[in-house]
Structure 1
Amino acid sequence: MRVEGLLQGKAVMITGASSGIGAAAARLFAAEGADVVLMARRKDQLAAVARDIAEAGGRATVLAGDVTDPGDVERVVAGAVEAYGRLDGAFNNAGWATAGTPLHETDDSVFERVIDVNLRGVWHCMKYQIRAMLAAGSGGSIVNTASVAAVLATGATASYIAAKHAVVGLTKAAADEYGGQGIRVNSLVVGSTLTELMQQVLTDIPALEEPFVSRSMQKRMAEPAEVAQAAAWLLSGRASFVTGTALPVDGGWTAR
């Protein structure tokens, strides 16, 4: 039996693709046979990821943009369809967080920024991605990056916890609305992950490593590629009867 890549022949859009989980997903999805569209604000870093993919024999299109700008998102989705003729899948992974302050001391501008990137960004992406999928008439699959903060008060800022809870709710609502039209929508409940940002945080505040690690049953943090593997499966036909779920990729953090 011939076994093809999980995403063979699919066109997939990835946000937050310039580093961390998004960059790992871009490389993995391409290795699994997808044509990928890379979106983030940092064009130079996107170009570096695209070069890696090309050197490995894959195809990647760089379309820089900001998920908080609906015009940017509309342009990138249109660019994906122009480049590959369709949009089969999307990994809405862009996010932003800050160590921040207690709720009553948090500036409104910080709250708005957290909501803009983590919630409105997903809203903008799904709005235009679903339109493209409906226009093509062949269904599709969307995965949104949530967090353990989507189901628990983790100690993260209140605005971040609220935004990630909302991402899970938005995912379930979209899954319900479009399931009959062949579009699956799922989210990932991601635990502490060794992204570039996390590594910088641990360099600045080494004491944070212990709580990040101890909450996992596996007593470690995830590698970005481990999260990307879960996203790849959900985007693939092998998850054909999975929709509306919030899949934990957290080393057992939320199982307790």
Structure 2
Amino acid sequence: MTSSDLQTEIRGAVAIVRLTRGAKRNALSDGLVAAIRDAFQNLPADVRAAVIDGEGEHFCAGLDLSELKERDAGAGLHHSRMWHAALEQVQHGPVPVVAALHGAVVGGGLELAASCHIRVADETTFYALPEGSRGIFVGGGGSVRIPRLIGVARMTDMMLTGRVYNAQDGERAGFAQYLVPKGEALAKAIALAERIAQNAPLTNYALMHALPRIADQPADHGFLTESLMAAIAQSAPEAKQRVQNFLEGRAAKVSKG
């Protein structure tokens, strides 16, 4: 699965999906957004986790403004919904996704990163939402996903004032769960994806598809959804075998990292 904008490499049970517009700081053109959608829709059945990476010095510097054109309200609506459909394939697609962040994670690039399940940043990473200063608004799902990471107040501040977060402040704010030295984000992301790929598929599915929805539900609805998902997950033959292995001493116990 390769195009001029995107390359997909399969390493065992992990797919590495790489943005390949390095000369344009991996700015998101419509073609690249469509390629991301297609890559996640067409992952091989034996892939159990994925990593998104960007070639060059930046993960993704946002929307390709050279493609920004005058649209009426209807065309703008449909364009935004196209992005929503593409990033939905990342967040609620077939496998958990780890983002390997470095350099610019800006605008639409931050929207893409926010659609992943885990984010690993190296110390060169910085985050910004410059749409406010450009007279536009986020349109790739950022108004839903980014506040869930950092809160409404922080996102409002970023868009009103142009505030930029560096890697260290960004980790503290919640943009990334891991912070590593320069150049090590991809290796860490792959290691995490390989670990995730060893999980029972139904457990990964529950974490991707059920947990975010439970968080949005009233408590009594969430408890019922949790019970249903727990019953389904533990009924799988693989889950039963894993529990038996633990009970019989064939599985590692939890220890301090």
TM-score interval (norm. to shorter): 0.3 to 0.5
Larger Rg: 2
- Compute the TM-score of the two structures, normalised by the length of structure 2: 0.32
Kindly indicate whether structure 1 or structure 2 has the higher relative contact order, using CA contacts under 8 Å at least 6 residues apart: 1
TM value normalised by structure 1: 0.33
